[in-house]
């Protein structure tokens, strides 16, 4: 049974959010997400359900056109095929456990890569 330890996995990156792999199978992917202030996962719409469990910090989880304010202890669920993104507030680091089921495909992450390269939270889908 895999054990995920945020203290051990904690790693921040000055350039972009940090995703530390916790577990992966054909049915599920679990990562520890670490965001410096203002960092984000660009808006995209993969064919997987997403659970965001905020461990510390504050930010937003975008669901379609709605921004949900989040803080420590909040859990947000976004259904598959729904536009979503995550962004830390400009004055707060954000740490979250992110679970997707099934794991997004490499092609479904193309908008994420484009958004990160362009520095845009709201990339074009």
- Give tens-digit pLDDT for 59-84: 999 999 999 999 999 999 999 999 99
Element (H, E) at 34: strand 29-35
Mean predicted lDDT score pLDDT of the chain: 93
> Is residue 124 domain-resident?
no
Look at the block and give the residue holding tokens 């859990």.
Answer: 75
For position 85, which CATH number holds?
Answer: 2.60.120.10
> Is residue 98 domain-resident?
yes
> Is residue 46 domain-resident?
yes
> Is residue 109 domain-resident?
yes
Q: What is the pLDDT, as a whole number, of residue 6?
A: 80
pLDDT of 122 above 80: yes
- pTM recorded for the entire structure: 0.92
> Is residue 83 domain-resident?
yes
103 DSSP assignment: P
Q: How confident is the model at residue 124 (pLDDT cuts 50, 70, 90)?
A: low
Q: What is the pLDDT, as a whole number, of residue 4?
A: 82
Please give the residue range of the domain that contains residue 79: 6-118
> Is residue 1 domain-resident?
no
**8 A C-beta contact, residue 94 and residue 38:** no
Q: Total structural domains in the chain?
A: 1
Mean pLDDT of 74-98: 97
Q: What is the pLDDT, as a whole number, of residue 1?
A: 60
Q: What is the pLDDT, as a whole number, of residue 3?
A: 80
pLDDT of 125 above 70: no
Return the CA Rg of the chain: 13
> Is residue 125 domain-resident?
no
Q: How confident is the model at residue 112 (pLDDT cuts 50, 70, 90)?
A: very high
51 DSSP assignment: E
> Is residue 123 domain-resident?
no
């Amino acid at each position: 049974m895999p054990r995920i330890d945020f203290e051990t996995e904690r790693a921040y990156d000055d350039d972009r959010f940090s995703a530390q792999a916790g577990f992966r199978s054909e049915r599920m992917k679990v990562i520890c997400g670490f965001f410096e202030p203002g960092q984000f996962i660009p808006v995209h719409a993969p064919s997987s359900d997403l659970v965001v469990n905020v461990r510390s910090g504050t930010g937003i989880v975008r669901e379609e056109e709605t921004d949900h304010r989040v803080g420590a202890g909040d859990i947000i669920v976004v259904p598959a095929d729904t536009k979503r993104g995550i962004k830390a507030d400009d004055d707060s680091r954000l740490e979250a456990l992110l679970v997707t089921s099934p794991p997004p495909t490499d092609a479904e992450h193309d908008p994420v890569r484009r958004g990160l390269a362009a520095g845009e939270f709201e990339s074009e889908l």
